[in-house]
Amino acid sequence: ESRERRWEGVVAKRTDSIYQPGKRAHTWIKYKNWRTQEVVIGGWRRGQGRRSGGFGSLLMGIPDGDGLRYVGRVGTGFDDRALDSLAGLLAPLETSDSPFSTTLPTADRRGAVWVEPVLVGEVRFYEATESGHLRHPSWRGLRPDKSPTDVVPE
């Protein structure tokens, strides 16, 4: 019901617990309404700090009638194994041209490395913005069972 009402989520609490302003309590737990979306990887941005040797975020798109529509970047949810695996898969796919049919924001375009749009992944996210970008996406994994033509807006 909370999803149908477009609430952020719900809070579950022990019936005998009391609200304590400014404090977190283990007796109050917030459950967010996350959504999932399959996406096509169209590029990546270099990492910084611990990830300086590889990618920091993936640039995501969803196919539409005009090509691959940019829906944002995802930089969380990767473990070390996923980072290494994806780096190996992305390297041979590098290309000089952006696969996106829409113009990326300057910050997302800066330092981008484009790839052929053949890999499909899945992210979880909170909501889509008015412009169609995914808010708070987190990587869930590759979808080798899917092709880019299978990807549709959820």
* Predicted pLDDT at 93: 98
Q: Where in the chain is the domain with CATH 2.40.50.140?
A: 34-150
Across 95-117, average pLDDT: 94
69-91 average pLDDT score: 93
| Mean pLDDT within 23-45 | 84
Residue 25 has pLDDT above 80, yes or no: no
4 or 81, which is more confident? 81
pLDDT of residue 80: 85
* Architecture (CATH level 2) of domain 34-150: Beta Barrel (2.40)
- Euclidean distance between CA atoms 152 and 64, whole angstroms: 8
Q: According to the model, what pLDDT value does residue 52 have?
A: 62
Residues in Cβ contact with 37 at an 8 Å cutoff, skipping those fewer than 6 apart: 62, 71, 122, 123, 124, 125, 134, 137, 153, 154
pLDDT computed for residue 90 by the predictor: 96
Distance CA 133, CA 127 (A): 8
87 phi, psi to nearest 5 deg:
-60, -45
Reported as a single tens digit per residue, the pLDDT across 86-97 is 999 999 999 999
Write the pLDDT tens digit of every residue in 110-144. Answer: 989 999 999 999 999 988 889 889 999 999 999 99
pTM score? 0.81
List helix spans (H) across 22-139. Answer: 80-90, 106-109
- Nearest to residue 141, comparing CAs of 21, 65, 58? 58
Q: Distances in Å between the alpha carbon of 31 and those of 10, 54, 72, 75? A: 5, 33, 24, 22
Q: If we measure between CA atoms, which residue out of 112, 108, 109, 50 comes closest to residue 83?
A: 50
Contact 123/140 with Cβ under 8 angstroms? yes
% residues pLDDT > 70 (the chain): 87
| Residue 103 DSSP label | P
What integer best gives the mean pLDDT of the chain?
A: 88
